[in-house]
Structure 1
């Protein structure tokens, strides 16, 4: 059977892929490959003459001239002023980047520097100088971050060599390729090693794309073919029960993307992977078959990226340490937009039309940030085509459980809710290289409520993490204590102890496990979806570092922090998100705080806080201990946005505004040390240590009016249970009951008897009842629910679901073995 026929038999959601077919029978057209690459990077005469690409062309030329001027001003022993070389790998990478930016301008048609032989000689002289002094001797290199040596520098060098292939001094390409092979130390014999923990996901795509170019430069068919085959493995959907090469990095059946083996990373490494593979499709056009892999990439976009993009903004929950960078969520999406515009040329007509509709639906991207002038022209043509209607890839209402990466996204017209969890499978946070300095609670149920029509730069992004206390992220329950950052603790950007049996060095596995991205201890983290509704839950725990410290595994000077304890559920409905918390304790005699919400606003914005007490009187900021509010409302009159908080249990709430001035360098060591000022709103609930275990419940109400908030007094919501064993709510209007059962054994909620652990949603209307089940621990073979009452008959059921009558009701059982948190649905009447 042909590859297309084979793929046609596979479920689209499976995203399964087979490697590119080898082309051993015919030589690869290396000239075409290099021509394609140069067109991608520098454009073509026709494309560069178009008005849409003028700004990009001007940017390429302006940057090149700046670099040339800098070279003129360099002192003795410098290639570029200020870039001290020999001990700083970042500076060395930047030196190669600057040479690439100059070389690019000499190959961009329409540039004033195009084909300028003198400028090209300056680039090649720079390559020779850098190789002789700082790159050719591998015994002196490979300091700092491995990524710069194996990916960052080779990317710039490989592109320079491709751009200037006809003008290179004899032997220079071969010399550099040999050196780059020598620096591929995480590989095998100077080549990719698919069993290496470094050669996975986006990193693998970067390395192999570079090696494809290197093979074309030396007319090495075997190198190109091997690199293509290696890169094709990133298209395979990760099956956690049948890992290939032990690799957990990549896309999962539910649309999740993981990098670094345990970090939810669609918004950073995921978009890098998307960019690289689409660029490879363009590089290989007319060179070799793409193996019909483009439809796989389409599913990444539709099921992996689209849910995480709200009005052109990439959500914070999937960006790892990149949340601390100054680039915005709009910039992140601009990279994705470029890839989508190119991908539309490689998929079938129906998928291409859907992608083009999506590009017209999203806000206009800043095309000067695109890599390729050709992509700019293609994107501009799509945006200008009025025959293509604008349409989101997301349905208007959508709830997506990315359980493979412990994330949930809930979308409605007017808002989107994004939730970050953690478990023994997924890291609590990512810190690395001085980025994301205070990340400690980002995976402890932190959530982000995005409102339609808002400029998200004003409410989220790096300024959110800069202005908001790391202990007061929205949704987080944190102990009352002060923690120190890694540089404060150890005087460097990582923990160093190579003499310890765990061999703590900058990129060691122990560094990853205990410093950079520690996982949690809990197994319960997940949930179920029923149509456009969802439930999610998590048992908050300590991280791997604290557990190891208690067991004596870690060195004496290694600092680890104990977490607070809480069992939490989030019920995602139409007008509200209901949050339940139980078994809440600061641990070790400490108090704790649960933050209902934290939001930032510009100092000049007209912000108002209103509320009502349980006795009907007006609530005012400052009312805390004796006057618990029934509801609060935060409104930004300047932005015309509002959020309500309806409290379903009575507890004092501290809420107010504070003006905060802080440098963005507080969250990332290389951010500009420029003070920014924000008005910070925080609503929080304190849990004194002396009060013992506590429970609370509230609802987030996006775009709420005061009238709607008053309606919750006798409204549709009822908390059915809120303990460490079971948390459940009922929404009378929707006819919906949802529950998380956290412990073993049968537990009751309304007319449900649930054999836990499990997540369950039941919705009834007319003569139909629909039930959704999942195993959030991902360890159970089956989940069972009994619906008490008159026996019901089966209408439809997912594979693996059985229904039978039992005394007093109907028993539903889902076979969850190897389902990895997937939801099973059955409809009864």
Structure 2
């Protein structure tokens, strides 16, 4: 993907009004005509901001925008009614103030929503241009400031985000929408509020952004700086605008894990990964928020002397093509990159709608083929999504009109920016995606670099195994809200997520353990408070303790491996680092590999152990279906007899089919194992996964395939294949393509596929390990494919800390055709040896093409 360093990002910021001094951006005085230019810039910036949120005369007369404008007016009328019905200590009925930061944030949001309706030019609403209502909003701002916001000694309770970002976002936009009225009616309101917003930026430095703060990174930094740009325009303050643009530019820089700036690991990586909260894979939540904010910033600055060059826009285009697109399947955002947001009721298709809006806007700032490719991708998402994308949910009326224009342009063909077959190793965030025309396979891994899960503030209450090799198999043509999303986590046992090996035990949620949404112990040396680093490390998003997690990609094929480990809380609790009343759970153990091919995903597991005398269960798959769906489960035992239904059996293969949805999955056992097949109706409230969810009872049929590992049997092994959309004839003949397991133990796991001419291996042990005619000096992930006289080798370091890896391919003498930098070819007895320089490659795949002499 396009990359940009911190230095390059700064170099692309226009020099207007800015200079570098004492390591930070400072204002240059604009005398005479230059000051007039600055005023023009500020006016244009505010006009752009209004157009983003309220539309303009051109967009607001479009019939496609009418639904959005009607919704804006309807919401505003509802808020005004709530204002009329407010009781003591409320600005809006149902939002009692004084102790709830959420109620205060909501009150500011409601004022913004009223202001928005009054600022929608050309809208068919009595609220449009109503100065009396606008003054009522201004009065509301005054009342909130005087009673609940202006005294900083009484504020900043609850969640820091509301005080530093949430409230400031609503206030800044409201003041931008009503700037002219406010300056006339309440002339002190803008400087008063800006001063207070600065005072609440407590995680910053002197009321400004601090790039060394762990709170001012990624999407959070983009939010804060975008707000400060608006505030600068309102005040006519070049220095504020310039500093905010400079600070925001850092989010465009590709994260170099070996040369971190300000210690920040949040942001986009070379392989397309996105991290927020320092160690959480978060493309589908914070990542989309960052995308939205930076595109809005480009639009805000458009036509001013602050506007950035096209190189930054091209970086964002790279985010879309290599960061977002592989994670979107038929209009659905995959679960593996949502953090705690997986427990929310509006994810998946809604997430992608937000991304589509940003893509439509981004295409406006690109030229030629790049613009058409993104526009074609917008059409592709719309044509393949099982949910109707409703542009009324877009933030901007202007973008709704642009979206309609894209759809109506017959010269733009619908086209995916992904190739039809693609395998992506997001090693920087421990995730893997494998795409084929009929399915997508998404795998969540973890390590000592990346968190096992994210829990926070009562969201995602039972997350314990979500990155312990959990997979999600998305099938083409299926409505994914019926297969995954919040209902999947609601009814599927957290111990039976697909692909997971879990100990047999019952765990308690954070509220059950501690009576609140976090562990409170400020007197402990680690200082456990709601937003403390210790809370992050041990409660909200703990990391694993294993180094080995990653894999290699060869063309559209992939191999990845992971060593399952305890998390940091358990290890540190055993070491006496944590308080006595802090509860930590021991994990199971396993060494696992996933080999992703054309028709199947092969999974090998070894060293399976529940630890501590506990049994363990490995879940091959769990799927949900509506109770009215027609389901069937058939298979064959190893002696060839037909098998169907549920129970425990020594089967050779199984096939689960949902005839109503038109989807099926086959499961082929590649070694002897007694499989448990379950199909039961489960009813639970959505609140079991998120405390603030509506108490909606969900009833689903839950299908599960699992293997039980008794504690007394010692470490176990398991080998199987997932075969999407397989029919019975295909499964009976399996493995017709010549698939075989070469090794499956804690040192090396490898397969051979004769039909593809492929050997794929994950080596976990140190030293040389053999996989067919390939030998690897591990640890390493390796794929070797022979096609006629050519052999292609792909190598990656899944530990991220090896200086080099050696691979020997035995057979005919070969010469080097081409290779990535860092690959050397040397002769070896009976074959050739590749030495691959993996120093500071951070899991990147190195590829070499060889030809037989």
- The TM-score by the shorter chain falls in which range? over 0.9
Q: Is the 8 A contact 1:566 1:582 kept in 2?
A: yes
Give the CA deviation at 1:15.
7.6
Superposed, which structure 2 residues align to 1:430-509 within 5 Å?
A: 430-509=454-533
Deviations along 1:446-466, whole A, 9 cap, x unmatched? 000001111000000000000
* Residue equivalent to 1:8: none
* Residue equivalent to 2:768: 746
2:18 is equivalent to residue 18 of structure 1? no
2:807 is equivalent to residue 785 of structure 1? yes
1:30 to 10, 28, 42: 42
> Secondary structure, in 3 states, of the residue corresponding to 2:545?
coil
Deviations along 1:628-649, whole A, 9 cap, x unmatched? 1100111001001000001101
Distance 2:566 2:64 in 1: 52
2:154 is equivalent to residue 161 of structure 1? no
Deviations along 1:377-424, whole A, 9 cap, x unmatched? 001100111111110010000001000000010000110000000000
* Residue equivalent to 1:821: 843
2:693 is equivalent to residue 693 of structure 1? no
> Secondary structure, in 3 states, of the residue corresponding to 1:144?
coil
2:369 to 326, 331, 350: 350
1:295 to 295, 309, 314: 314
Q: Is the 8 A contact 2:4 2:253 kept in 1?
A: no
Q: Is the 8 A contact 1:14 1:253 kept in 2?
A: no
Q: Is the 8 A contact 2:176 2:234 kept in 1?
A: yes
* Residue equivalent to 2:445: 421
* Residue equivalent to 1:6: none
* Residue equivalent to 1:372: 396
Q: Is the 8 A contact 1:313 1:330 kept in 2?
A: yes
2:108 is equivalent to residue 86 of structure 1? no
Give the CA deviation at 1:784.
0.4
Give the CA deviation at 1:40.
0.5
Distance 2:347 2:243 in 1: 37
Superposed, which structure 2 residues align to 1:74-473 within 5 Å?
A: 74-109=86-121, 110=123, 111-168=125-182, 169-287=186-304, 288-292=306-310, 293-363=312-382, 365-473=389-497
Distance 1:112 1:325 in 2: 35
Question: Aligned in 2, Cα 1:148/1:340: closer, same or farther, shift over 3 Å?
Answer: same
Distance 1:513 1:347 in 2: 41
2:818 is equivalent to residue 796 of structure 1? yes
* Residue equivalent to 1:761: 783
Give the CA deviation at 1:77.
2.4
Deviations along 1:117-163, whole A, 9 cap, x unmatched? 11112111111111111101111111111000000000000000101
Deviates more, 1:167-176 or 1:271-280: 167-176
Give the CA deviation at 1:13.
5.2
> Secondary structure, in 3 states, of the residue corresponding to 1:205?
helix
Deviations along 1:549-589, whole A, 9 cap, x unmatched? 00000000000000000000000000000000000000000
Distance 1:196 1:217 in 2: 26
> Secondary structure, in 3 states, of the residue corresponding to 2:756?
coil
Q: Is the 8 A contact 2:551 2:559 kept in 1?
A: yes
* Residue equivalent to 1:73: 85
Give the CA deviation at 1:14.
5.8
Q: Is the 8 A contact 2:3 2:315 kept in 1?
A: no
Q: Is the 8 A contact 1:15 1:296 kept in 2?
A: no
* Residue equivalent to 2:705: 683
Q: Is the 8 A contact 1:15 1:253 kept in 2?
A: no
Q: Is the 8 A contact 1:770 1:825 kept in 2?
A: yes
Query: After TM superposition, which residue ranges in structure 1, 4 or more long, deviate above 6 angstroms?
Result: none
- In structure 2, the gaps of 5 or more residues are 18-29, 383-387
Question: Aligned in 2, Cα 1:593/1:14: closer, same or farther, shift over 3 Å?
Answer: farther
1:568 to 592, 606, 611: 592
Distance 1:686 1:21 in 2: 63
* Residue equivalent to 1:716: 738
Question: Aligned in 2, Cα 1:77/1:12: closer, same or farther, shift over 3 Å?
Answer: closer
Q: Give the aligned CA root-mean-square deviation in angstroms.
A: 1.0
Q: Is the 8 A contact 2:4 2:252 kept in 1?
A: no
> Secondary structure, in 3 states, of the residue corresponding to 1:633?
strand
2:753 is equivalent to residue 731 of structure 1? yes
1:553 to 577, 582, 585: 577
Superposed, which structure 2 residues align to 1:656-667 within 5 Å?
A: 656-667=678-689
Deviations along 1:95-132, whole A, 9 cap, x unmatched? 10011000000000213211111111211111111111
Distance 2:201 2:736 in 1: 65
- In structure 1, the gaps of 5 or more residues are 1-10
Distance 1:766 1:524 in 2: 33
Question: Aligned in 2, Cα 1:713/1:253: closer, same or farther, shift over 3 Å?
Answer: closer
> Secondary structure, in 3 states, of the residue corresponding to 1:138?
coil
Deviations along 1:9-63, whole A, 9 cap, x unmatched? xx83568741223312645310100000000000012211100000000000000
Give the CA deviation at 1:623.
4.1
> Secondary structure, in 3 states, of the residue corresponding to 2:729?
helix
Q: Is the 8 A contact 1:22 1:225 kept in 2?
A: no
Q: Is the 8 A contact 1:783 1:815 kept in 2?
A: yes
* Residue equivalent to 1:528: 552
1:516 to 533, 537, 540: 540
Distance 2:257 2:241 in 1: 30
Give the CA deviation at 1:622.
3.9
Distance 2:295 2:76 in 1: 26
Distance 1:687 1:103 in 2: 61
Question: Aligned in 2, Cα 1:204/1:390: closer, same or farther, shift over 3 Å?
Answer: same
2:633 is equivalent to residue 619 of structure 1? no
Give the CA deviation at 1:488.
0.5
Q: Is the 8 A contact 2:268 2:275 kept in 1?
A: yes
1:582 to 595, 606, 619: 606
Deviates more, 1:60-69 or 1:112-121: 112-121
Distance 1:582 1:500 in 2: 40
Distance 1:210 1:123 in 2: 19
* Residue equivalent to 1:3: none
- Tell me the number of residue pairs that the alignment of Structure 1 and Structure 2 aligns: 817
Deviations along 1:226-251, whole A, 9 cap, x unmatched? 10111011000000011111111000
Give the CA deviation at 1:620.
2.7
Distance 1:171 1:584 in 2: 67
Give the CA deviation at 1:369.
1.1
Distance 1:85 1:649 in 2: 62
* Residue equivalent to 1:705: 727
Question: Aligned in 2, Cα 1:622/1:642: closer, same or farther, shift over 3 Å?
Answer: closer
Distance 2:86 2:202 in 1: 32
TM-score of the superposition, structure 1-length normalised? 0.98
TM-score of the superposition, structure 2-length normalised? 0.95
2:688 is equivalent to residue 674 of structure 1? no
